Amino acid sequence: MQMLSKIILNQGTFIFALMTYRHVVAAFSVAPFAIFLERGIISKLNLSVWFWLFINALTGITAAMGLYYYGLRDTTATYAINYLNLLPVITFVLSTILRIEKLRLNSKEGKFKILGAILCAGGAVTSSVYKGKSFDIFHNNLNTKLTENVIPKAHWTRGSLLLVGSCLSYASWYIVQVKLLKVFPFKYSATMFTCIIAALQALVIGLCLHTDMPSWRLAWDLELITIFYSGTLATAATFCLVSRAIAKRGPTYPPMFNPLSLIFVAVLDALLLGQDITLGILLGSFLIIAGLYSFLWAKSKEFTQKNAQGEEALPTTLDKAIVISDVQLDSTHH
């Protein structure tokens, strides 16, 4: 998604049109699961649920994704993905402040969680700040053609600020997900309604910026492929999986996997767009993998200890609500 988005943004695609169409596709993609697996939830849609759906769409899609796309346009895919690697630290800090995540500094698991978050952040910073020796591995005629639009240096500062704003919005979204799933524990329906609201938000903002038809026109080209790919997989499938992971392991668990994107994007960036793989990226990747392993090991130990002590397997009251709702839905189906 990072690579496809970067290419079409360089070609002048209007960002809010891309976001509108992407989330219409995402809503249609997840709709069959919401309709057939979560029937009978219309009565659950009260004012509080709509409010949190709106905030969920605003923080996790409209603000976070909009800022990210503009930041990506002004920088490179590898540089932009580095900022998302700060999400584990920011989300961990926010979750600790809001007492969603327990710090447990006296335990070995708590220390390894903090170590993992620091290593991931350190790896992201290392990849961004330290360049070192460059390895031009995948240079070819294809990536020369794809990089015809060069990013002006004057835009790097603006792009960095936009990416910081995106990172803060994404971290807030992980926290909002916890609240949303407490009041509306239906992951497919929540994803579908969130995508619909986000598409409407992007449409309104987009029309305020550009009303000319060329900005909104679709053609049979790479832009259309990007819309369907990102809508079905990067939004619909990912949102459902993230919701399930948050329900089972808390809001700090999913963002710990974000740093792996750096490794994949760096390789694709070099393969498709001719960006060099630097020593800094290699060192940063090593730190990221070490930090990810440290954090996941600590979370796994905490989870095992809770089960061994006879505590509820799922860490929050949110999970009780999900289990209850599943039983209610099964009863409704019968």
**Tens digits of per-residue pLDDT, 210-249?**
888 888 988 888 889 999 999 998 888 888 888 888 888 7
pLDDT at 165: 92
pLDDT at 327: 36
Q: Point out the least confidently predicted range of 74-88, 117-131, 149-163.
A: 149-163
17: pLDDT strictly greater than 80: yes
pLDDT at 139: 53
pLDDT at 204: 96
**What mean pLDDT is predicted for residues 122-136?**
73
Which value, to the nearest 10 degrees, does the dihedral of the CA atoms of residues 288, 295, 100, 260 take?
Answer: 30
pLDDT band at 314 (very low <50, low <70, confident <90, very high): very low
pLDDT at 215: 85
pLDDT at 205: 95
pLDDT at 227: 93
Q: Which has the higher per-residue pLDDT, 92 or 231?
A: 231
Residue 278's Cα: distance from chain center in Å?
A: 25
Q: Highest mean pLDDT: which of 100-104, 159-163, 194-198?
A: 194-198
pLDDT band at 140 (very low <50, low <70, confident <90, very high): low
Q: Highest mean pLDDT: which of 76-85, 168-177, 264-273?
A: 168-177
pLDDT band at 317 (very low <50, low <70, confident <90, very high): very low
52: pLDDT strictly greater than 50: yes
pLDDT band at 87 (very low <50, low <70, confident <90, very high): confident
User: From CA 192, how far away is CA 23, in angstroms rounded?
Assistant: 9
318: pLDDT strictly greater than 50: no
Cross-strand partners of 277: 135
Q: Which has the higher per-residue pLDDT, 313 or 215?
A: 215
The predicted model scores a pTM of: 0.73
Q: What would the two tokens of residue 277 be?
A: 């793989």
User: From CA 188, how far away is CA 275, in angstroms rounded?
Assistant: 38
pLDDT at 154: 43
pLDDT at 208: 93
- Quote the DSSP letter at residue 58: I
CA distance between the termini of the chain: 40
Contact predicate 62/201, CB 8 Å: yes
Q: Highest mean pLDDT: which of 94-108, 231-245, 300-314?
A: 231-245
pLDDT at 28: 94
User: From CA 239, how far away is CA 232, in angstroms rounded?
Assistant: 10
